[in-house]
Structure formats: C-alpha cells, structure tokens
C-alpha cells in the first residue's frame, strides 16, 4: 500500500531508492559502511560476539541457585536458542555482506525488522517475546561496542567512489533524527536522500543535508515508524513529502522530475566562469561554506571566489572524545588554504553546543548538556572562552595556516564587547607564543558573526575592533523570534520574512557599509534564491553558501538591477507583510523588468 508522509522541505530535488532505517535510539550504536574487503572481518566480529554472549548465558545458567524458579532457566534457554536462530544471526550476516553495514548497525537493523514482525502477531504471548529478542540484541551490541572501544567510526566510512554504484540500488536514509556527527559519516556514502521524524528547516542536520546536495525532508513525525526496511520510497525535497511504495505512474513522474533537475543543474554549471555582476554593473562576491578540508576542491569547481565559512567544529566531532591538537588543526587549515591558492579562507572558530555537541564533555559542559535551554547556554565563543587552552591551540593553528595564504578568522555568537576584547587578547597571546616558539605565522583579518540581536544594536562598537562581519541568519532569526530552529513543534513560527528579522539584517548591512567594513551573509538566506534580490537591495555584495547553490544564486544576480532594487527597499521594510508585498515592489524597482524572485 502506498502512503504519503508530510514534513518540512530542507534540501531540494527528488530522491528515489530503498529505505535504510537508522537504528532507533534505544541502543547506542555507531552507523557506518565498511569497506567490502573488511566484510569477512566484520562477520568474524559478529560471530565472536555471539560466542561471548552464548558463554555469558551458559555461565548464568550454571550460577542459577537450585531453589530458583525453573522459568528462569527456561528463559535463559530461550535466549540461547534465539541467539543461534538463523532468523537472527544469518539475517544479521546478510546485512553485513549485502549492505556493508558495520556489525552493530546490522544487529540493530535486524532487530527493527523482527520487532515489527512481533508487533504484527495476533497472539499476545508471541508478541511479548519481542522483549526477549531485544535483550539478546542488546547483549550482542554491548559486546561489539566493548570490542570496538578505541576505534573511531570515520576511519571505516566508505565513500561513494569506493563502491561500484552501478551494482547498488540507490539508498534513502530514514531515521528519527540524525546527529551532525553521523551526518558527517554519511556525507561521502551512497545515500541519495534522507528523511527524519524531527528537526526544522535550519537545524544543523538540515544544513549538512544541503551541504551534501541531496534531497531531504525533516519533521516528518512518524516516518521511521511507517517505513519498513527496504521499502521503495520517494523523497520530494521541494514539497516536503515522503512517498512510501509509490504506484508505477507516480514513480515514473518522479523519475522524469529527477531528469529535469539534472538538466537544470547542468545548465547552471555553465555559469561557473561567468563573473557575478548585476545588470547595472555591481560586482557581487560569491563565497562557499564548507565543513571539512576535503570539501575545498568543490569550492573551486563551483566557481566560488573563496571560502566564506569553514565550520571548524566538524574537525572536533565524532572522535571518541579525543579533540584534534594544534598540529592536526594546522594541517587541516593549511590544506584548505593551499587548495584555494590565494583565494580568501574564512575559518570560524569552533562553534559547539545546542545541536552540535562534542563527544568529550567537561564538568561545565555536562551542566550545559542538561540545561533547560542549550541554545541559550555555554556554546560557540562562550564555550571557547571557557576553555582557553583549547581556544589558544586553535588560534595558533589558524595563525600558522595564514602563513600559506589569505586567512580570515570569524568569531561566532558574540553579544558583549567584553567577549570581543577577550578574543583579541587571546589572539595577541597566540602570536606572542608563536614568536617565542619560532614558528611561522601570517596576518589575519578578524571578523565577528552577527547572530544575536544585541550584536546588531552594538555593532558600531564591535566594528571598531573587527575588519568585517558575517551575518548568520539562522541563529539571528532564532534569537530574534525566540524560536528553537531544531524543534519541529514550533518550526512554523520560524519566519525569515518577519519584519523584525529583515530590519535587523538591513541595519547590520547598512552600518557595516557606512563604516567601510566588509559584510557577508553566510546563513541559509544567502543560498536561498527567494532572498537574493532582497539582500542585494539591502546593499549586500558578498554571499556565502554551499557550493552547490552558487549557480542558482549567480543566475539571479545576473538578472538583477541593484540600484532599482535599492530604491524599492524602504517600502518593503516598512510593510507589515514583506513577503506579500516585497516581490512586486522589488520587481518593479525603477522600471526594470526583473525576474520574479520574491513572489
């Protein structure tokens, strides 16, 4: 039976493939693909774990007191029988061999299949046996995790280039939620799209989905419960719809849309070497957002003129609690700088907290993790300043990388002038320590992210200490409207068209331009064609986005008249409903016929 599940569209396009269910959060398991050459090793790990669990159960049987109830021994016998039942063990081996899942993921996947089968049973006694299967699976997973301690999952991730994709069915990931660290593992895998039960349009999971340039839907509520392993599914990333087991006619329609989307991407790629200039001759800088050094070649491929946001926190994630030291960070930053070959690279200092936690937690962070509202707690620059030794390491690494090219340092979530002064003092301390150590370093431009309304209101004071600003619209909207952007329960209130949001952005751009400071937008609005003309009208001449979005934004810029747009801006900012009236005003401009961008 075909069903439709509605959610929030966060990454455009169409994905068609077999559903892969991420194990539920009841067990703490890692999820990654193994190399085909390691299948035998992973199967051996599973069998070793099975033998250990079997030995544990046998030992428990021997230790059962004679006066204990006979049902206890019978229960252990049931668990032993399940452990060696081909329906469990052989099926887990198949997940490893056919899908190249790591053993823990394979166990959890088969448990999901069996759990659904037990739930569908009419006999109450048989339904209750589901708990026994869960207990056996939990024992297996615990042994597997114990054996894997000390290994890091990213080492085992397989890129799509590492497997013969022609022999594989396309895969679509379905989960209750996906942590940013897990998204990082899946970034180079074979998934053509994903769906989650929770999340909002600008949750970090959604942002990484766009960085992967694959269709995605979040906030789909019951998707992970309604979809079964290996169901054929369609993700409509434009409408925010998941279609499970689509009828043939619907499937063909979406395959046609996939082809059209690929043709449109090919057309946009032809703009790669076209200068980004408006109809009235205004040059516009198009920069790229990246997460890892391996993303740098895509920046050049897309025709970007630099990196406007290097999210350095992804170097700190998914490492089993071991943070990168100065040398490792230096090599990562240097790799990006040298790949860009003279183009600017803007490195944001580590921005953790809220929806981007680290594996290693200090006492302070443990309090933060359990705080009522992590988005308002110890995160971003607040966390860095609370860990001065770690922060000093990162600043030293960035300064050393600046010896190889043009580097800009971006400080996230500044709200107080005192924070800016502390950062400047630490940068001077980092420079002095590098001189003392005899290590080469280069000059850097210093910037601050505008993500909090308070920062907009004190911007003239901040700009006396910094060379540029970058507006992070995702958090600015969140804090201006008091909306948790990762919470699907209030996601309908997250409104980038809110008059207060637009006025804050316009004010920040105007003040930076008036003081002769650089200003860019690196949040999701920069890569959304619906806002291109509006941001141009505000005086923005530097956009930073995922490389895959650059072609579409450049096309809008080439068809826009910046002066005409600027003349129409005041009426838009004064409107009660800017989205409703802004399109017509900006299109009519000064008599120019502009592309319908804001309607």
Residue numbers belonging to the annotated binding site for phosphoenolpyruvate:
311, 348, 474-475, 485
One DSSP character per residue, 197-212 reads SS--TTSHHHHHHHHH
CA distance 72 to 554: 69
Residue tagged 């800088």 (tokens): 285
One DSSP character per residue, 356-407 reads B--SS--HHHHHHHTSS-GGGSS-THHHHHHSHHHHHHHHHHHHHHGGGS-E
One DSSP character per residue, 299-329 reads HHHTT-SSEEEEEGGGGTSSSTT----HHHH
- Sheet of strand 232-236, all strands in order from the earlier edge strand to the far edge: 3-6, 241-244, 232-236, 14-21, 171-175, 191-196, 216-218, 8-11
Catalytic residue among 31, 100, 522, 546: 522
**204 labelled catalytic:** yes
Please give the backbone phi and psi of residue 191, each rounded to the nearest 5 degrees, phi first: -65, 135
Please give the backbone phi and psi of residue 245, each rounded to the nearest 5 degrees, phi first: 50, 60
- Half-sphere exposure (Cβ direction) of 584: Cα atoms closer than 13 Å: 4
Instruction: Tell me the C-alpha to C-alpha distance, in Å, between residue 108 and each of 24, 72, 264.
Output: 8, 26, 39
Structural contact between residues 414 and 446, judged by C-beta atoms closer than 8 angstroms? no
Q: Which of 24, 25, 28 is nearest to 359 (CA)?
A: 28
Spacing of C-alpha 17 from chain mean position:
21
Catalytic residue among 204, 368, 404, 498: 204
Binding site feature residues for Mg(2+): 451, 475
> Contacts from 509-513 at CB under 8 Å and sequence distance 24+?
509/471, 509/535, 509/538, 509/539, 509/540, 510/538, 510/539, 511/459, 511/460, 511/463, 512/459, 512/463, 512/468, 512/469, 513/539
CA distance 509 to 456: 10
Tokens of 279: 């109809």
Q: Which of 427, 433, 432 is nearest to 448 (CA)?
A: 427
**498 labelled catalytic:** no
Tokens of 390: 């770690």
Query: If you count them, how many residues does the chain have?
Result: 599
Residues with a known catalytic role: 204, 522
């Amino acid at each position: 039976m075909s069903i439709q599940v509605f959610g929030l569209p966060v990454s455009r396009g169409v994905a068609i493939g077999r559903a892969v269910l991420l194990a539920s959060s009841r067990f703490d398991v890692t999820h990654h693909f193994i190399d085909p050459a390691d299948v035998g090793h992973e199967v051996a790990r599973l069998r070793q774990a099975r033998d250990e669990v079997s030995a544990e159960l046998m030992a428990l049987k021997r230790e059962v007191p004679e006066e204990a109830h006979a049902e206890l021994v019978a229960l252990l016998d049931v668990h032993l029988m399940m452990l060696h039942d081909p329906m469990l063990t052989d099926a887990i081996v198949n997940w490893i061999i056919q899908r190249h899942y790591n053993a823990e993921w394979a166990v959890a996947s088969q448990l999901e299949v069996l759990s659904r089968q037990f739930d569908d049973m009419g006999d109450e006694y048989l339904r209750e046996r589901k708990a026994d299967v869960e207990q056996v699976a939990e024992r297996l997973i615990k042994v597997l995790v114990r054996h894997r301690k000390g290994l890091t999952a990213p080492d085992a991730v397989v890129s799509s280039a590492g497997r013969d994709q022609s022999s594989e069915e396309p895969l679509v990931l379905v989960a209750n939620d996906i942590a940013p660290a897990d998204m990082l593992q899946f970034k180079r895998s074979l998934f053509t799209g994903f769906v989650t039960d929770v999340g909002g349009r600008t949750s970090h999971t959604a942002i990484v989905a766009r960085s992967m340039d694959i269709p995605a839907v979040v906030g789909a509520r019951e998707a992970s419960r309604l979809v079964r392993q290996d169901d054929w599914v369609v993700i409509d990333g434009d409408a925010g719809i998941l279609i499970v087991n689509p009828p043939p006619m619907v499937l063909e329609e979406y395959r046609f849309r996939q082809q059209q989307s690929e043709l449109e991407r090919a057309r946009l790629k032809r703009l790669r070497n076209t200068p980004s200039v408006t109809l009235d001759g205004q040059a516009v800088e198009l920069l790229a957002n990246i997460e890892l050094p391996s993303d740098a070649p895509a920046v050049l491929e897309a025709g970007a003129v630099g990196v406007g946001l290097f999210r350095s926190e992804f170097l700190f994630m998914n490492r089993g609690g071991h943070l990168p030291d100065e040398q490792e960070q230096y090599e990562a930053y240097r790799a990006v700088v040298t790949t860009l070959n003279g183009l600017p690279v803007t490195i944001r200092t580590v921005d953790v907290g809220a929806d981007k936690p680290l594996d290693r937690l200090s006492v302070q962070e443990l309090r933060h993790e359990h705080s009522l509202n992590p988005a308002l707690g110890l995160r971003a620059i607040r966390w860095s300043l609370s860990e001065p030794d770690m922060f000093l390491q990162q600043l030293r690494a960035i300064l050393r990388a600046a010896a190889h090219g043009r580097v800009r340092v971006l400080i996230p979530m500044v709200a107080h002038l005192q924070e800016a002064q502390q950062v400047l003092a630490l940068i001077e301390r980092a420079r002095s320590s590098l001189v003392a150590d005899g290590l080469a370093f280069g000059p850097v431009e210093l910037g601050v992210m505008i993500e909090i309304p308070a920062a907009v209101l004190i911007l003239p004071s901040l700009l006396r200490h910094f060379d540029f600003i970058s507006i992070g619209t995702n958090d600015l909207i969140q804090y201006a409207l008091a909306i948790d952007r990762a919470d699907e329960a209030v996601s309908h209130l997250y409104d980038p068209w809110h008059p207060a949001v637009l006025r804050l952005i316009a004010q920040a751009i105007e003040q930076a331009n008036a003081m002769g400071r650089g200003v860019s937008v690196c949040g999701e609005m920069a890569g959304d064609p619906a806002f291109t003309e509006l941001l141009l009208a505000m005086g923005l001449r530097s956009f930073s986005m995922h490389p895959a979005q650059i072609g579409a934004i450049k096309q809008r810029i080439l068809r826009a008249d910046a002066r005409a747009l600027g003349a129409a801006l005041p009426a838009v900012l004064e409107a009660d409903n800017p989205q409703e009236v802004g399109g017509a005003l900006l299109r009519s401009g000064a008599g120019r016929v502009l592309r319908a961008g804001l309607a």
